[in-house]
Structure 1
């Protein structure tokens, strides 16, 4: 099979399109590169959705943790402690066990006299169940980053805002939040990189793949088992993740320059990538 034929047959297999049968017999390099790249679609899916949705939840958690009101502060503190204090793989396992206990037929409830039936069987699938775990996990880590930056906002900036008559939401939107993001962005970039790397753990979790079309490691293991040579598919996976990391660095670097555009060029903080070896 040529590279063009492999691309046409397997480029979108992870989404349920194209050739359904996996390569058999003599497996070439093109088939491995294309199929593993197809599986990366799911890794990108998990990372993009968990990061984008988790950003807003993390900001809310950070603000709640910094609140003087105990009713807001304590739930945020315990949530952050729970998901930062336990391994991500255990969170996958516990979430799957909890989701499979939900009734398969769904849950019925009433709101204002209107009967609503909610599907629950999708929670035990990787595309939703694993996404929820990644969403909660990255929200907790990002919230701690944002909380530290929130506490580090210079008092002079806040006093200047008070002097201009800014208060409440206007003060937060125009002064506190932009400064928090500027201070937190380098560390948040590292969290984003780690999150995309952590999507590889979905393969090892209990959540089943969508229509037996899994992520990059799903296909890498298949090729390693079929060819008895793990030194080709797994480096391909690593290469895809390196390219993905470079893309994140470029994107988040552009945002970092945008956040610090008002500073002199010499005073603008540069991104320093510090991968987490153990989390």
Structure 2
């Protein structure tokens, strides 16, 4: 079988298209590259949707934590504390058990026990908590001159937030938020270990890398391939977030523009 035929057969297998049976003998390098790359579709799915939904919720959490009212501040503080204070891996297991109990109780949320939705919910809530703390810190450091300028122009309420506070918050938080986005894509590999089942062997990249490691008894081929795919993905993320960072800081002199500096997280 040629490599082009292998790509045709297995390129979209993680989505349920193409060959149903995985290769079992005489596994080629092309098959490993193709299937692990196919599984990356799910890692990108988890990461992109979790970040998009988490970004919206993180903004609300930051505003809530910065609010004067206890009714808004305390729920935001506790939400951030709980999800930042507990390991993501444990959150996966607790969420799966909770969703399973709801399914047994006949609540009608059985779809949450599948990794496609359930794991995405956990990733979304986790990144919302971390991003919310990042945005809150940025809110607290907005230059007073920006707020005074907004008052001078007669801006108040939502208009003041949308035109002055929110852009300034994003500009200050973006370098740290970029590191959170990188971690979130790395964290998608935990879905494989989380207890959420993959339907009909439609797993993520780690699912296929682990499969090949078991079948070939050689983990030194599939796992470096997986790492290579993630390095490429993270380079794309850094490039996209870098462009947004330039856009947010376009009005500042060159020497005052905040640059993105990667700070790898050893432990979460």
The one of 188, 204, 212 equivalent to 1:199 is 188
**2:123 aligns to what?**
134
Judged with a 3 Å threshold, the aligned counterparts in structure 2 of structure 1 residues 69 and 175 are, in CA distance, closer, same or farther, namely same
**Which residues of 2 match residues 109-128 of structure 1 at below 5 A?**
119-128=108-117
**1:45 aligns to what?**
45
* Distance in 1 (alpha carbons) for counterparts of 2:156 and 2:88: 39
Q: TM-score, normalised to structure 1's length? A: 0.94
* Distance in 1 (alpha carbons) for counterparts of 2:189 and 2:49: 15
**1:111 aligns to what?**
none
The one of 205, 214, 231 equivalent to 2:220 is 231
* Distance in 1 (alpha carbons) for counterparts of 2:261 and 2:12: 35
1:104–1:120: 8 Å Cα contact kept in structure 2?
Answer: no
* Distance in 1 (alpha carbons) for counterparts of 2:95 and 2:158: 36
Structure 1: which 5+ runs fail to align? 108-118
1:105–1:121: 8 Å Cα contact kept in structure 2?
Answer: no
**Which residues of 2 match residues 145-224 of structure 1 at below 5 A?**
145-224=134-213
Structure with the bigger percentage of helix: 2
Q: Name which of structure 1's ranges 208-217 and 88-97 shifts more when overlaid on structure 2.
A: 208-217
Q: Does 1:58 align with 2:58?
A: yes
* Distance in 2 (alpha carbons) for counterparts of 1:57 and 1:102: 24
- Give the CA deviation at 1:104: 4.8
How many residue pairs are counted as aligned between the two chains?
A: 268
* Distance in 2 (alpha carbons) for counterparts of 1:273 and 1:211: 37
Q: Does 1:34 align with 2:34?
A: yes
> Which deviations, in whole Å up to 9, do the C-alpha atoms of 1:218-274 show, x marking residues without a partner?
101110111110000000000000001000000000000000011122221111011
**2:23 aligns to what?**
23
Which runs of 4 or more aligned residues in structure 1 lie more than 2 Å from their structure 2 counterparts after TM superposition? 103-107
**2:87 aligns to what?**
87
Q: Name which of structure 1's ranges 239-248 and 259-268 shifts more when overlaid on structure 2.
A: 259-268
- Give the CA deviation at 1:191: 0.1
- Give the superposed CA RMSD: 1.0
- Give the CA deviation at 1:95: 0.4
Which SS does the other structure have where 1:35 is aligned? Answer: helix
Structure 2: which 5+ runs fail to align? none
**1:114 aligns to what?**
none
* Distance in 2 (alpha carbons) for counterparts of 1:103 and 1:2: 45
- Give the CA deviation at 1:105: 8.1
* Distance in 2 (alpha carbons) for counterparts of 1:65 and 1:57: 12
